[in-house]
Amino acid sequence: MSHSSILLLAGLLGAASAQLQYTSTATSAVAAARATALTLSPTSNVTGHTFDRYVQIFLENTDYSKAIADTNLAYLASQGISLTNYYAITHPSQPNYIAAVGASTFGCTDDSFYRIGSSTKSIVDLLETAGVSWSVYGEDMPYSGFEANYNNKAGANDYVRKHNPVMSYDSVTSNLNRLAKSKNFTQFDKEVAANTLPQWMFITPNMTNDAHDSSITVAGKWARNWLTPLLANTHFNKARTLVVLTFDEGSTSGTNQIYSVLLGSAVPAAKIGTTNSTRFTHYSLTKTAELNWDLGSLGQNDVGANAFF
């Protein structure tokens, strides 16, 4: 074997192992990775047409009618623009998260461990080309770049891979610098304090706070309590910040219409407390970022989707 093919083989093995290197949940493996795994906190200032920061937050498994009836979610809707004609893509959870960053489900129809080939792009590729900094935050991820599920407390789910929108993409997991941008809430809090949040964010609270293992009441309280101080903090809600608070999917018996509200300083004062009945879906999430920063397109369902603005 030639020297160059040995290097190539080593490169391929390195890439393949990066996709699976952070999957052990053994206490010692978690401790070792915590001490060594790379964390990156990129920032940038790419001016957008309508907003300069984009924050997407997903809660879980609730129909629009049930969510909007929750006191705290109704309160948050009154603080922004309530999107009254917004639909998830499919069931169950995982393909909706995949669609939120890739504008396709790429054939994923369940919640099992799923990998999308490295030639498939996601919004991450478009953001990086344009120099727009990005990060994903998953509450209770044991360390940055962790690639499996994590239960810190006996009998309770905390962090799950299927709710991290980028983890199914080999184009992300084969790249340690990209893995290093999937981080936990400890890191998020540090970045808020240091004023080093990126321009594009996707945030998933843990399985209790997102309603998956609890109720809409718990998730509504969490969302209001967590967002209220952040919306008052210019390290998070700096000028021209757009926050989208939504759900991955509705109940399997419904139409998959879900609650979605636009919040943050990018919402014009005159539109606070209004509704918008344009039809949106999770494909609108990528489309909105693409139009805002002139990112081009993924060539998937983003092409035909409506953008929020």
Ligand X SMILES: *[C@@H]1O[C@H](CO)[C@@H](O)[C@H](O)[C@H]1NC(C)=O
Q: Footprint of ligand X on this chain (CB under 6 A)?
A: 34, 37, 39, 43-45, 81, 139-140, 142-144, 153, 156, 158, 184, 186-187, 206, 208-209, 262, 271, 276, 278, 308-309
248 carries an active-site annotation: no
249 and 256 Cβ atoms separated by less than 8 Å: yes
Which of 253, 283, 243, 295 lies closest to 77 in space, CA to CA? 243
Shortest reach from residue 171's CB to ligand X, in Å: 22
191 and 144 Cβ atoms separated by less than 8 Å: no
Shortest reach from residue 250's CB to ligand X, in Å: 21
Toward ligand X, which CB reaches closer, 125 or 140? 140
Shortest reach from residue 31's CB to ligand X, in Å: 9
Toward ligand X, which CB reaches closer, 42 or 102? 42
Shortest reach from residue 144's CB to ligand X, in Å: 4
Please state, in angstroms and as integers, the Cα–Cα distance from residue 188 to each residue in 129, 140, 155, 182, following that order.
Answer: 24, 11, 26, 10
Number of C-beta neighbours around residue 152 at 10 A: 12
Toward ligand X, which CB reaches closer, 158 or 249? 158
CA 235 – CA 229 distance, rounded (Å): 11
Bridge partners of 169, per DSSP, are: 116
From the candidates 213, 248, 294, 302, give the one annotated as an active-site residue: 213
Tell me the one-letter amino acid at 210: D
Shortest reach from residue 139's CB to ligand X, in Å: 6
Toward ligand X, which CB reaches closer, 56 or 105? 56
Shortest reach from residue 22's CB to ligand X, in Å: 10
185 and 192 Cβ atoms separated by less than 8 Å: no
Bridge partners of 281, per DSSP, are: 87
83 and 262 Cβ atoms separated by less than 8 Å: yes
CA 72 – CA 37 distance, rounded (Å): 37
Which of 150, 235, 230, 137 lies closest to 186 in space, CA to CA? 137
CA 177 – CA 41 distance, rounded (Å): 10
Q: Give the residue numbers marked as catalytic.
A: 213
